[in-house]
Structure 1
């Protein structure tokens, strides 16, 4: 075993430990590992920086802006109001109206703004029709994940794997190629939620705080703590929340527990704070990444109808343009150097949205999740280091030796399980980065088509259902629904198994070895 292999293996173990312990943001942890590889000569400066100029990473950045434009247009708010039945209804009937439509929307938009907009509206609606909000919020998060696996742009993980395939000199995914298996997983997952969510989810999670302050200008706001909240890992007593934000914390919710005696409780990302404040709180912090979501139970006036329709036209232009641009024979009609791919159309859409002020162009940097982009860029470098050092070949050989004589089907299952465990413990993009070079080496050593292994990475890296920590949307609904960690395990683990079985069975039929 060479010194390079030892360095990479030790660094990866340290990286996984740091990600699980959540001591730093994932982007900084991965960047630290990449710097180690640079200092030890495992990566050249060019290899280290390639991820930062990668087309897939920049596409993800612009898709954040497109999603923000759709959010600010008010189109999603109007849609969810039309989907929610306003008269007395049952959980099953309401889910039938909501879940398939939300899955479809999330196939083309970033999951987080969909959940941030829909979650407080659904919670308020559930109280109005006298149904438990707990029957709808985890399913909301899950169907955005299920919808995201059906298209190239539905989740950043798909774009990351697609870009890695292109970097390896092979043909990547078309816009709807992953839907060949993703649609079956999404349909099975939605049917599972129809049948079992009412049985497996809690009927209620009591909320203790009422608006009892005599000042009518003050009201309660639910605030889900985001990654940039400055008080993370500090106790409520150490961090003066009222001085920073002009609001008084009434309670803190975490993993189904409600804390009202707060002085010794430490803030964590994903905690939901119930604060007493005035209308300026949401106006000031609504577009800040300090909080993942703010909700005060009030209706907001959407943008004008013309703006909403123009936004939806731009979204349709982007999707149809990228799909048509991939058709065989289109390239011969184009000038040399022009490629009508997703990058081309998302660039045009982003610029038009900015110039037409669908999102405020002066604040465009606020709407991009820079930590996710740094994580993705570093993921490319870590994947390259695993190839350069021989770690990918070593791990692939070890996996093959453990399952020898069983053929590629068993190895596909093993790769799914490894990737899925990583995505539940760390982040989906980091999981894909670790799994991709192993998949490439597995297929090379076996002499089979690598595409089934690449597709299974996309499915496994997105299938984060069993814990609230693997996906940001799970964290958001955990707080607003006051769910326990075990609620996610109870309803999410069977969904992981459903995704596993469908993936391992169907993928080799659609993309033969």
Structure 2
């Protein structure tokens, strides 16, 4: 075993440990490893930066904007409201109506906006029909993952591997090629959720604190749940030192973290990314901070999603359908022969769709950087560099020989 192989293996082991311990954002952890490889001479500066210009990574970035355009059009919110049964129903009947449709939607959109839109709507609906929301929220998260493995654009991982195949000089995936396996995996996963989610998921959150039963302080305050994002300025600070009330005009009553509820001695609790703060705030809180990047999600028991006109909703859906159909048809041999100088792939059509959505104000063009998950893009770009380091050091060949030997 050469020094380079040993160095790369140890660095990868350290990377996995750092990711498990959640010491930093994933993008920074991977970038740190890439810099180590640069210092050791395993990567050149050009090889280190090649991932940032990869077509797959840029496609992922633009798909974030397309997903945001669909979200802001209000189309998804209207779809889920029509799917949810009104009146008396059962957990199975409700799941049967919503889960396959959500999986289908997630096959063509990024998972995050799908969950962000649907989760508060489903939670409010569950309360209105007297069903436990706990039976629906984890299945919601899982079916978005299952749907994402069915198409090329369903998840960023598919696009990353597609980009690596293209760079190696081979034909990449077609739009629905992954569905030959993914659809059957998704069906099996959804059937499992139907059969076991009601048995395995609790009827109520045993750690939940019924803050909604507390009297409102001035009559104009109500309960709001705020999920802290990566840009929240109080991350890794004590709640008492940060003074949430002075910054945001709301008082923290509870912190939810990793399935646990914290209500005592809140002033000495350190705030972490992904924490859910239960606060007492007035109506202006959601309006002021709903579009801010410091909170991933705000829920106050009311509809906060935009409700534009039908024209905008249908136009956004039409653009999405044209993008999918165009990328699918563009991979056909007859189309490739008709347009040999233009590659009518997903990158081509997502670029056009993004620009049209921006100029027609389906999403606010001035805030476009807010809707892109930069940590995911940096993680993807660094993954390309790490894979190059594995090739340069000989680790990739050793792993390939071992697998072929098996």
Under a length normalisation based on structure 1, what TM-score does the superposition of the two structures give? 0.76
What does residue 97 of structure 2 align with?
97
Q: Deviations over 1:39-73 (max 9, x none)?
A: 22211222111100000000000000000000000
- What is the root-mean-square deviation in Å for CA atoms of aligned residues? 1.4
Are the counterparts in 2 of residues 287 and 366 from structure 1 also a CA contact under 8 Å?
no
- Structure 2 unaligned spans of 5+: none
Matched, 1:327 2:332: yes
Cα distance in 2, alignment partners of residues 286 and 56 from structure 1: 30
Residue 77 of structure 2 corresponds to which residue in structure 1?
Answer: 77
Which residue of 274, 282, 296 maps to 1:278?
A: 282
Indicate whether 1:171 and 2:176 are aligned.
no
SS in 2 for 1:202: coil
Gapped regions of structure 1 (runs ≥ 5) = 405-513
SS at match of 2:298: strand
Alpha-carbon deviation of 1:232? 2.5
- C-alpha contact (below 8 Å) 1:151/1:179 kept by paired residues: yes
Aligned to 1:57: 57
* In structure 2, distance between residues paired with 1:9 and 1:315: 42
* 3-state secondary structure, aligned to 1:293: strand
- The reply to whether residue 359 of structure 1 matches residue 363 of structure 2 is yes
**Corresponding residue for residue 253 of structure 2:** 250
CA displacement, residues 226-272 of structure 1 (integer Å, 9 cap, x when unaligned): 22222223232232212222211010112332111112322222221
1:68-467 alignment, distance < 5 Å = 68-205=68-205, 206-210=208-212, 211-261=214-264, 262-300=266-304, 302-334=307-339, 336=341, 338-398=342-402, 404=406
Q: Distance in 2 between matches of 1:147 and 1:287?
A: 27
Equivalent position SS for 1:158:
helix
Distance 1:259 1:289, change over 3 A: same
C-alpha distance in 2 between matches for 1:258 and 1:208: 11
Shift of 1:19: 1.3
Greater Cα shift, 240-249 or 77-86: 240-249
Deviation at 1:222, TM superposition (A): 0.7
Aligned to 2:46: 46
In 2, are the aligned partners of 1:174 and 1:323 still within 8 Å (CA)?
yes
Q: Deviations over 1:359-417 (max 9, x none)?
A: 0000000000001001001100100100000112233445566xx4xxxxxxxxxxxxx
Match of 1:487 in 2: none
Deviation (angstroms), 1:174 = 0.5
Return the TM-score normalized by structure 2: 0.95
| Structure 1 residue 208, shift from structure 2 partner | 2.1
Aligned residues: 401
Matched residue of 1:221: which SS?
strand
The one-character-per-residue Cα deviations of 1:6-34 (angstroms, maximum 9, x if unpaired) are: 22122212211221111111111111211
Q: How far apart in 1 are the matches of 2:28 and 2:315?
A: 38
Worse-superposed segment, 192-201 or 38-47 = 38-47
Greater shift in the superposed pair: 374-383 or 25-34: 25-34
- Relative distance call for 1:260 and 1:198 in structure 2 (3 A) is same
Higher RCO structure, 1 or 2 (CA under 8 Å, sep 6+):
2
Cα distance in 2 for partners of 1:288, 1:169 equals 42
